[in-house]
Structure 1
């Protein structure tokens, strides 16, 4: 496996680093009518900077090649990040070398191309010469049929999208996906129950979940041997340091060639630089073998009865309860305890089951005060829970 990214640069066909994103002549569009896909390809082919937003499709700008795209905005207004194409091209080369992916492969994405995970996958497919398909807007059953009938070999998706795809494949009676050999999951935590279901249904595929952010790109990568609760070890070329002793929780700092240049608009108080190191405010710890375990974002951490509580840890427990299809936890101010945790849950799990699962896995102060059922959790365009909307509901 590559450990030095200097030996795995994102090269063009002539062996030089591209100043902008490129499209291999071998890459074809399998879904030319998919929303925004042809426009994205045309914008990349023309060169210059590429700008995507949740409000509009791909736009090309003259000048030095840069990529401008928005963060998910899960805890506030989306911010526009600015990165150099080579920061993604370098990881395209890692994908080619580590996983053997190239022009013989066929990519599929399930989300809107304005989401950074989907955009990354499409640009990687273009770069490596793979054929690409965007299945956004299709019903999960139709997506499952397309993946089988079109011999898709590489799939990029979020946990929510994969959960829906599982249901679609079951509804379609599709038990085997023999051509699918790689599933890359990002954009949210992949719980163990879902991972087990995916490995059973897509038994020919190597399932890899990665942890990262719009600002950092890849940070860690997991595999079947990753311990439960961990997001894996550092992605090739990534260095991690935690401002706490081994095994204790601290702020996570990242150094890699995949980092963004800065915000083109907006700002984040959690995002800080210290020389080559970048922090986005994530808290966690590493074990002696280098596996990273996340606690949650520093900005989401609250105190309950003088104890620190990370909503993400509660969400991780709830996501594994049978019947839960989506969930989010937000705090409510409380004069006596500091905060009380409120859990919004989509799915058929009864409150008694949810509460019992939390009591079994969490300390008493982290067990939600209330469990509020929702027919549908409010989502952002990136597919993540709209925490700001839920916080307003709690406040009201």
Structure 2
């Protein structure tokens, strides 16, 4: 049976040039691609797809090729699924958009990021994640090109040497990355030499907190005015921040994107109003949808449970996720604050803070650390910079932190 507007198509194949073409083709027909990690186990696939009821599940390149067609105006957003790090994965559904809203959705991204026909977007992250797919789609819709694929058009595993060669050969103008990409690229360039990065007009990063030394190196390495950070989620985008703004206000993730407003409730939870074309529901889950939205004086606002602070000029700082909250001895401790402090130690390359059950305190604060700093050194550092409840009671040294492919720490694995 031919696909109908509103149908879902699950994409369980590796990223490729064709993958982006098919996503755009489906959306032009009002069909919603559901990009998923092709490495999901059978149990994970059943858990996710059972609720989404796809009309078609694509598991090989032959099926993918059969869906190719003209691009046209996307009549919605791909139905990405929340990561599942804080509960059961949920499909984020934009619904079918009328032509005016569909055009506004495309125009918003183009206006913010400046996509144009001369752009060459370097794809680094797996295309089943929302940010790399969004940047690739925006580039193609503006008449530009995407690169970062092998000779067969497939997306290879991230490889600093291969990425460096692509930069030298293809001279990309834009890329989206996560801090882990930058760490690996800079380590490679320290050993083998830094390529000419003058071709870049836009380097955007998100997905995880960026340590201050890494952020400053990013700013120094790429052309002035080219580097940005943004804060968003599977559900929607909140802020965008030029690095020059960050230098004036270290740690901020910027102000609300155009057409949006930010508000904090009494608990510090972040709520964001968005235009009609950027609204969403959790597919087949009206209760979770209702919990994510509330009415405000500026219109409907959504939250994903993140906590933050706003200054008088509207710049936002993140304090962590509500789900990551550690309550120790009745005191709320936000991991992001402790992580930021420990990351400033010269012997810390990476760090994640989380809570574990404690018979006395309810939970105790634990830090998983990658680097050369000893537990005693870190304890002295923390004592100088953190109030007693926030100081880790235990330090665990690891070779690397467990992360999702978008760079988010899998805290449940640590705990």
TM over 0.5: yes
The residue aligned with 1:324 is 348
Check the 8 A contact 1:302/1:310 in 2, yes or no: yes
Alignment of 1:110-125 (within 5 A): 110-125=124-139
Q: 3-state DSSP class of the match of 1:112?
A: coil
Check the 8 A contact 1:106/1:130 in 2, yes or no: yes
| CA RMSD across the alignment | 3.1
- The C-alpha deviation readout for 1:239-272, integer Å capped at 9, x for no partner, is 111124xxxx622111012644212267869952
Q: Partners in 1 of 2:161 and 2:348 — Cα distance? A: 20
Shift of 1:317: 2.5
Q: 3-state DSSP class of the match of 1:73?
A: coil
The residue aligned with 2:21 is 41
Q: Partners in 2 of 1:357 and 1:144 — Cα distance? A: 37
Alignment of 1:233-252 (within 5 A): 233-244=255-266, 250-252=268-270
Q: What 5-or-longer segments of structure 1 have no aligned partner?
A: 1-18, 21-33, 392-396
Alignment of 1:257-296 (within 5 A): 257=275, 259-264=278-283, 271-275=291-295, 276-296=300-320
How many residue pairs are counted as aligned between the two chains? 356
- The C-alpha deviation readout for 1:49-73, integer Å capped at 9, x for no partner, is 2111123779769xx7552112233
The residue aligned with 2:199 is 179
Matched, 1:108 2:122: yes
TM-score, normalised by the number of residues in structure 2: 0.76
Q: Partners in 2 of 1:89 and 1:174 — Cα distance? A: 40
Moved more, 359-368 or 110-119: 359-368
Check the 8 A contact 2:273/2:302 in 1, yes or no: yes
- The C-alpha deviation readout for 1:263-304, integer Å capped at 9, x for no partner, is 226786995211311121111221111111221112221222
Q: 3-state DSSP class of the match of 1:68?
A: coil
- The C-alpha deviation readout for 1:187-236, integer Å capped at 9, x for no partner, is 11223221111111223452110111111224343431231122111111
Shift of 1:389: 1.5
Q: What 5-or-longer segments of structure 2 have no aligned partner?
A: 7-13, 40-57, 69-74, 150-155
Check the 8 A contact 2:164/2:195 in 1, yes or no: no
User: Residues 85 and 344 (structure 1 numbering): CA distance in 2 closer, same or farther, change over 3 Å?
Assistant: farther
Q: Partners in 2 of 1:130 and 1:161 — Cα distance? A: 23
Greater relative CO (CA pairs within 8 A, separation 6+): 1
The residue aligned with 2:374 is 350
Q: Which has the higher helix share?
A: 2
The residue aligned with 2:413 is 389
Alignment of 1:62-141 (within 5 A): 67-84=78-95, 90=104, 92-134=106-148, 136-141=156-161
User: Residues 43 and 181 (structure 1 numbering): CA distance in 2 closer, same or farther, change over 3 Å?
Assistant: closer
Structure 1 residue corresponding to 2:273, chosen from 251, 255, 263: 255
The residue aligned with 2:34 is 51
